[in-house]
Amino acid sequence: MVRIDQKDHVFNRFKGYKKFQKEKVDKQIGALLKAELIYKRELKKIESKFISYFKGKHPSSLYEPSKYVLEGGGKRIRPFLVLTSAKAVGGSFNQVYNAALAVELLHNFTLVHDDIMDNSVIRRGRPTLHIKYDNNTAILAGDILVTLSYERLLEDCKENAVDILQTFTQGIIEVCEGQSLDKEFETRSDVTLKEYKVMIYKKTAALAEMCCSVGAKIGRADKASIKSAENFGKYLGMAFQIQDDLLDIIGEEDKFGKKIGSDLIEGKKTFLFIRALEKASGKDRQMLLKLIKNKGIKPSEVNDYKKIYYRLNVIDDAKKEIINYTKLALKNASQLPDREGRELMIWLANALIGRNK
């Protein structure tokens, strides 16, 4: 029998390895906690900048409804993408605060018009703008939000202005095309997952990609870093939209801020619905085709469709897709030069994959 001496160098090396692993994990946790604190700090700054930006603007009939939209809160992911991308390529937050405000103004413009088109009554736990006021007021508020977004962006892009403005404008074009496809898909029974992914890229991921591109370009990144930042935003945006589809089914209404099952009620072709239609047969397939025929379902039918999703394991399919896109996002983040910026991206990706709203 061989006696193991605790002073043996191999044994000690093993103990040292365990200590190293613990230190490594502690360091990673510390970095994520620091990233969360930075996010919260920057979120407060962004909120205060919105308050000061709208202060004293007239006429109130235009700016009060616009301010109401922004006061609804939200995660402010898109402005944070601008900040983190600038940081990750070696730039600073101070370079891109106006650009960060610009993308949030733009994002809220899309939400206002989305809510009108979808006849949504709740957004972030409050009445939507067209419900609180009226359609005309909401449309005009959306118009001023997108116009103001250009005003803010121009403050930060003194260099490469044409390139940055083209990137920003292309992002808006993609969003409009994505929204158009989303509406078109509501009346089609043959939408494929490939078509769905094109739609969510345009509707959601392209905007995240644009945010990262703008941040990286204002941060004076090289071409390779700009591409990595853009890919991080693109893949994170894809994961985010599929997660949104998922939360519409398994989320909690008080946390999610929207009525659970609203995509089903409105007849939207989500990842879950298309995947279920691919897998379904018999009565389940008849139920899904009924939704297409009727262009939606009654609120009382939502639970019946949720049961179909669980039976066909499309909930798990969606979770796998979210994880795969998140991994691709993190792979691209790892290629960026600034460590703190990379850690902010890692934290954001983890926060989004684990969100409940």
Which CATH number belongs to the domain containing residue 145 in this structure?
Answer: 1.10.600.10
Q: Look at residue 175 in the predicted model and tell me its pLDDT.
A: 95
Q: Look at residue 26 in the predicted model and tell me its pLDDT.
A: 56
Distances (CA, A) of 149 to 75, 170, 211, 287: 18, 14, 12, 43
Q: Would you say residue 41 lies in a domain?
A: yes
Q: Would you say residue 179 lies in a domain?
A: yes
Rg of the chain over all Cα atoms, to the nearest angstrom: 23
Q: Look at residue 132 in the predicted model and tell me its pLDDT.
A: 96
With a cut of 70, which residues of the chain have pLDDT below it? Answer: 1-28, 254-258, 356-357
Q: Look at residue 1 in the predicted model and tell me its pLDDT.
A: 39
Q: How many CB atoms lie within 10 A of CB 14?
A: 11
Q: Would you say residue 6 lies in a domain?
A: no
Question: What secondary structure letter does DSSP report for 266?
Answer: T
Please state, in angstroms and rounded to a whole number, the distance separating the CA atoms of residues 149 and 161: 14
Q: Would you say residue 44 lies in a domain?
A: yes
- Residue 73 phi/psi, 5-degree rounding, is 80, -140
| 34-50 residue pLDDT tens | 888 999 998 889 888 88
| Cα angle 163, 157, 102; round to 5 | 100
Q: Are 216 and 229 in contact (CB under 8 A)?
A: yes
Count up the domains in the chain and report the number.
1
Q: Are 275 and 286 in contact (CB under 8 A)?
A: no
| Cα angle 216, 320, 241; round to 5 | 50
Per DSSP, which regions of 119-262 are E strands? 122-123, 126-127
Provide the domain limits for residue 112: 25-353
